[in-house]
Structure 1
Amino acid sequence: MRRYLPAFGLALLAAPALAAPIPSFDDPRALLVAVYEQIEASENWETFDSDAAFDEVDTFSSELYASFAAADAALKAEGNEIGVLDFSPFINGQDSGGMDFAVGQPKIKGDRAVIVVDITGYQHQQITFELVDEGARGWKVDDIILPGYDGSSPERISSFFANPF
């Protein structure tokens, strides 16, 4: 059964037409808590209501979403059916099974915030989120800093979208 979870997670990323609208969050931490609660709920695929779930990319700021959409369109034009995101940047992977999430407290300065999420399970990692308050749209993820692989430097999701090839 576990082998179906990565495909299910990718289906959530690839099916924005089926996703519920994301609420507007007036607190940056509340946005990330909602994301991770949804990720945890999706682990029980028998009871998870994917129609009531919002699409993770809907948490992106206008600027980050535009960058994502351009990279996604470019890859799909090259014949890549999955697009630019074949993983969830919120877990830095495809399968959240066995992971625990601790959303830190935001450091807020004006309309910007930074929050670190500790992820434990089969390995420990920290993902840093830069958020921006977009007024009526609420707080949105403006960039995600993913830990590097095997000691490499951390990578910003915005840089990944800027150079998806």
Structure 2
Amino acid sequence: MRNFIVVVALSLAAVGTSTAVAQPLRTPSAVIEALYAPYIGNGDTSDRDAFFSDALTRLYAADAQKSQGEVGAIGFDPVINGQDWDIADLSIGKAEIAVVTVRFENFSVPVTLRYSLVNEAGNWQVDDIESTEGDALWTLSEIFANAQY
């Protein structure tokens, strides 16, 4: 009986996390909160692309095709502005006309990212990400546009 309860609890947890992506995200802040949930929670970021717009998804797909299995234009995770993470003090700003600013510390280093979102079929989707603080200032769409293969 005890094993049955554990299996049911784990199944419900899995359903809860997978349906979070499937449910419409009606506000830009809700998209960003859902995007960062695995970085603070279970660490499974495999559903991350579900939060990206069609245009940004096409940029990732084109990059994957052009890089032919090698590291493409993006050698880091733009959601955390790095490769690894230990997120602390996450603060999601109020949406300002589909632009959301996110601030956090990654290994005690302050990070500020600006998200541009678009509404596609009633769901807000990340359309671009911009790093606005630190030594590495970048815009995701510009990295893809300027990639040399």
TM-score by length of 2: 0.74
**Cα drift, residue 98 of structure 1:** 4.6
Question: 2-side partners of 1:73 and 1:148: how far apart?
Answer: 30
State whether residues 53 and 125 of structure 2, in contact with CA within 8 Å, keep that contact through their aligned partners in structure 1.
yes
Question: Would you say 1:118 and 2:110 are equivalent positions?
Answer: no
Gaps of 5+ in 1: 1-19, 44-49
Aligned length: 129
SS in 2 for 1:38: helix
Structure 1 runs of 4+ off > 6 angstroms? Answer: none
Q: Which residue of 2 aligns with 1:33?
A: 33
**Cα drift, residue 117 of structure 1:** 0.1
Q: Which residue of 2 aligns with 1:69?
A: 61
Gaps of 5+ in 2: 1-17
Larger radius of gyration: 2
Relative distance call for 1:84 and 1:156 in structure 2 (3 A) is: same
Q: Which amino acid aligns with 2:103?
A: D
State whether residues 39 and 87 of structure 2, in contact with CA within 8 Å, keep that contact through their aligned partners in structure 1.
no
State whether residues 81 and 131 of structure 2, in contact with CA within 8 Å, keep that contact through their aligned partners in structure 1.
yes
Q: Which residue of 2 aligns with 1:15?
A: none
**Cα drift, residue 147 of structure 1:** 3.2
Aligned positions of 1:4-15 closer than 5 A: none
Q: Which residue of 1 aligns with 2:120?
A: 134
Relative distance call for 1:119 and 1:98 in structure 2 (3 A) is: closer
Aligned positions of 1:46-65 closer than 5 A: 50=44, 54-65=46-57
Q: Which residue of 1 aligns with 2:76?
A: 87
Relative distance call for 1:98 and 1:26 in structure 2 (3 A) is: closer
Question: 2-side partners of 1:42 and 1:114: how far apart?
Answer: 26
TM-score by length of 1: 0.68
State whether residues 40 and 96 of structure 1, in contact with CA within 8 Å, keep that contact through their aligned partners in structure 2.
no
- Give the percent of matched residue pairs that are identical in Structure 1 and Structure 2: 30
Question: 2-side partners of 1:71 and 1:163: how far apart?
Answer: 11
